[in-house]
Amino acid sequence: MTVDQLIAFYEVKNKSQLAQKISAARSTITEWEKNGIPPRTQASFEVLTNGALKADRKVLLV
């Protein structure tokens, strides 16, 4: 799962709007871009989106 996928799913135009939409700090979004979205966070988004977004299974197994 990527930040771009979250932006597309939530139908926002940029990272600032995404941060606001999901109640996260803008710096958190930047960290996700640099280091990837943490596995537990990906799993949460998979549940919150009813499976529309999928967590990276390889990351979850680590």
- Residues 27-45: pLDDT tens digits? 999 999 999 999 999 999 9
Q: What is the pTM of this model?
A: 0.88
19 against 60, higher pLDDT: 19
**Are 56 and 42 in contact, with CB atoms under 8 Å apart?**
yes
Reading phi first (left if > 0) and then psi (alpha if -120 to 50, else beta), residue 55 is in: beta
Query: Mean pLDDT over residues 46-61, rounded?
Result: 88
The CB density around residue 20, as the number of other CB atoms within 10 Å, is: 13
Percent of the chain with pLDDT over 70: 94
pLDDT level of residue 60 (50, 70, 90 thresholds): low
**Among all chains, which residue has been given the structure tokens 């960290």?**
31
